[in-house]
Structure 1
Amino acid sequence: MEQTLTATTPIIAIVGFEDDQLSVFINCDFKDRYIMQFANGIKMVSAWQTDNLHIVAIISFSEIMAPGGIPLIEALKKKGLPEVPFFLVVNHLNTNLSKLALAAGITDAFKLPLNPVKIEKKVNFLIDNQSKLNNISQPKRANIKGIGIAKRAFDLFFAGTALLVLSPLFLIIYLMIKLESKGPAFYYALRVGSGYQIFKFYKFRSMYVNADARLKDLKHLNQYNIDAANEKEPAVLNHGLCNDCRAYNKCQYPLFADGIEWCEKDFRTEKKSTSNSAFFKIKNDPRITRIGNFIRNTSIDELPQLWNVIIGDMSIVGNRPLPLYEAEKLTTDKYVLRFSAPAGITGLWQVEKRGKGEMSEEERLMLDNKYAQSHSLKYDLKLILRTIPALLQKESV
């Protein structure tokens, strides 16, 4: 830590750790490598690019699906930064999450509490042998059936035309949202799409900005978890953070909009039982605004995703991209198939079951798998024609 930093000094970037957590790394012998602390991945990437740092390894304190995990790996790839050993320090780890992390490019994950000797040996070995390791093929993701030139051309034409034609409606909805409640009209959240790729998912805001604060009081209404009503509510935690996030002293699964940040899910119940439903949906949800209820029932809230189609994150038809906390529960062989299909605005389960009564989580996942096995442009056109009647259903979704 006391050595002089030069342009050629090899740096080990320590991301997301507080000052009092650095002692474990300071006590390690990383040879001639300099330890540099960063508050988060964004600041690390910015310094790496602007200061032309010689970073040779990254150690990030984050859960695998949280912003400092796979999303950070994806951001480094998109920025074209050098590929270096990437280590995670996590609270939660299992076999399926480990496979997902390795497939995404994470070199290794350490579960708390940390062992300095193990960290020192692994980090030094993997940095010293990085060139050899680059020649070893990474574990393969789920085989992804490409969308093809015809489907991509259709997506661009359909999304571009829709954005142009619907621009007056966008303006009206924007004004109505702003007039009814405080907060931004648009927001984005991190979502997991085809091949477990993580991207920014855009929507019109349909809930009050503090909607997450009420989620813990509504779990018993979850239509995907009929046994939830019989479960005892956990004790309220201090500082408004769940067990998953308290270790980081900040929310690990945020939503973002115009400088406003709020939590996507109340994690006090998410880790309570591995048998809990991966999905969360409530009928007549009181967190939804009046205009929000209208745009949800007509699927107008989904229209900003046309931009996701334009930039290639999504297709018009596909399996719905999932929040990170849902996707990390669907890494078993039984459900991984759904991630081999394109992420879409509408899809098979929407037209098959929407408005026709309650649908179990198992049914939804099976329909996702069915689409992944049979999607094509011809099949998509049929689903688009069936989507319009589905939008006219009476059930509040």
Structure 2
Amino acid sequence: MFDIFFAGMALIILFPLLLLVALFIRLESKGPVLYYSLRTGTGFKIFRFYKFRSMYINADQKVKDLMHLNQYNNEEKKEQFNQVNPVLCETCAQTGKCQYPIYADGAKWCEKDEVYLHSQKNGSAFFKITNDPRITKVGNFIRNTSIDELPQLWNVIKGDMSIVGNRPLPIYEAEKLTTDKSVLRFAAPAGLTGLWQVEKRGKGKMSEEERLMLDNTYARNQSFTNDIKLILKTIPAIFQKESV
């Protein structure tokens, strides 16, 4: 009940801000204001995860351009990949259709495009592009201030997420976290904010091991009191320059 009450009040209070953000997104670039992707939450439950759009609508094509550059030194794999299917990533091409779709106003693209080369190289479960050229100016601002996450208040009202918890992961990341040392994170609620966002935001890059350790720490020590403390710490953390 606390989560639903908190999310409902937040949506009412922030409604003017949400309208303003939506307006700026539409003014800067064509495309929908919101998009959703499939995420994995508590107990590996899969749900639609909402965000403000922070990228250009042709972001998938920009990724393919970056993928081409990154594969410069591996001509054989590049040729094989392009011949299989120039639209789908290699994993999706094996089945003939996209396995990791993102949706927005009827448009669909593959969420795994941006991580294909990285996962082929080192198999990391977490991935993030620095200075991503697909991100709009408005998108950069709403990402750095976490405003792009506000539509997830609707996820909280629907019961998909809690206000505090471990971040819900894309399916391709969750698939790599099924070992004994990592599966504990999925025992905790999926949250809008959490321990690693508060502890590490603005402190530079965070390793995969650090993030997983903090996720497991939250799962072991979850309590209403700790959640209130994290909510209070989230507000100043938002104003840190760099997001983790």
Deviation at 1:163, TM superposition (A): 0.5
Which structure has the highest helix share of the two? Answer: 2
C-alpha spacing 1:231/1:159, structure 2 compared with 1 (3 Å): farther
Q: Which of residues 98, 110, 128 in structure 2 aligns to 1:281?
A: 128
C-alpha spacing 1:218/1:357, structure 2 compared with 1 (3 Å): farther
Deviation at 1:370, TM superposition (A): 0.2
Contact conserved, 1:214 with 1:287, CA < 8 A, in 2?
yes
SS of the residue corresponding to residue 18 of structure 2 reads helix
Deviation at 1:251, TM superposition (A): 1.3
Q: Which of residues 11, 21, 37 in structure 2 aligns to 1:163?
A: 11
Q: Which amino acid aligns with 1:259?
A: G
The yes-or-no answer on 1:213 pairing with 2:74 is no
- Please list, as runs of the form range in 1=range in 2, the aligned pairs for 1:182-331 lying within 5 A after superposition: 182-215=30-63, 218=66, 232=74, 234-235=77-78, 236-237=81-82, 238-266=85-113, 268-269=116-117, 272-273=120-121, 275-331=122-178
Q: Where in structure 2 are there 5+ consecutive unaligned residues?
A: none
C-alpha spacing 1:229/1:381, structure 2 compared with 1 (3 Å): farther
Q: Deviations over 1:311-331 (max 9, x none)?
A: 110000000000011100111
User: Matched residues, percent identical?
Assistant: 68
C-alpha spacing 1:388/1:268, structure 2 compared with 1 (3 Å): closer
Deviation at 1:243, TM superposition (A): 2.4
Contact conserved, 2:42 with 2:190, CA < 8 A, in 1?
yes
Q: Which has the higher contact order (CA 8 A, sep 6+)?
A: 2
CA distance in 2, matches of 1:156, 1:282: 33
Residue aligning to 1:349: 196
Superposition CA RMSD, Å: 2.1
SS of the residue corresponding to residue 174 of structure 1 reads helix
SS of the residue corresponding to residue 262 of structure 1 reads strand
SS of the residue corresponding to residue 141 of structure 2 reads helix
Residue aligning to 1:340: 187
Structure of larger gyration radius: 1
CA distance in 2, matches of 1:340, 1:202: 22
Q: Which of residues 205, 208, 223 in structure 2 aligns to 1:376?
A: 223
Tell me the TM-score normalised to structure 2 length.
0.90
Q: Which amino acid aligns with 1:188?
A: Y
SS of the residue corresponding to residue 342 of structure 1 reads coil
Q: Deviations over 1:149-207 (max 9, x none)?
A: xxxx2111110000011111111111111111111100111000000000010110001
C-alpha spacing 1:231/1:297, structure 2 compared with 1 (3 Å): farther
CA distance in 1, matches of 2:227, 2:34: 27
Q: Which amino acid aligns with 2:125?
A: A
SS of the residue corresponding to residue 215 of structure 1 reads helix
Contact conserved, 1:210 with 1:262, CA < 8 A, in 2?
no
Q: Where in structure 1 are there 5+ consecutive unaligned residues?
A: 1-152, 220-227
SS of the residue corresponding to residue 356 of structure 1 reads coil
Contact conserved, 2:201 with 2:243, CA < 8 A, in 1?
no
Deviation at 1:344, TM superposition (A): 0.2
Q: Which amino acid aligns with 2:182?
A: Y
SS of the residue corresponding to residue 251 of structure 1 reads coil
CA distance in 1, matches of 2:73, 2:164: 37
Contact conserved, 2:89 with 2:112, CA < 8 A, in 1?
no
CA distance in 2, matches of 1:316, 1:230: 43
CA distance in 1, matches of 2:214, 2:104: 32
Q: Which of residues 229, 232, 239 in structure 2 aligns to 1:385?
A: 232
CA distance in 1, matches of 2:56, 2:42: 30
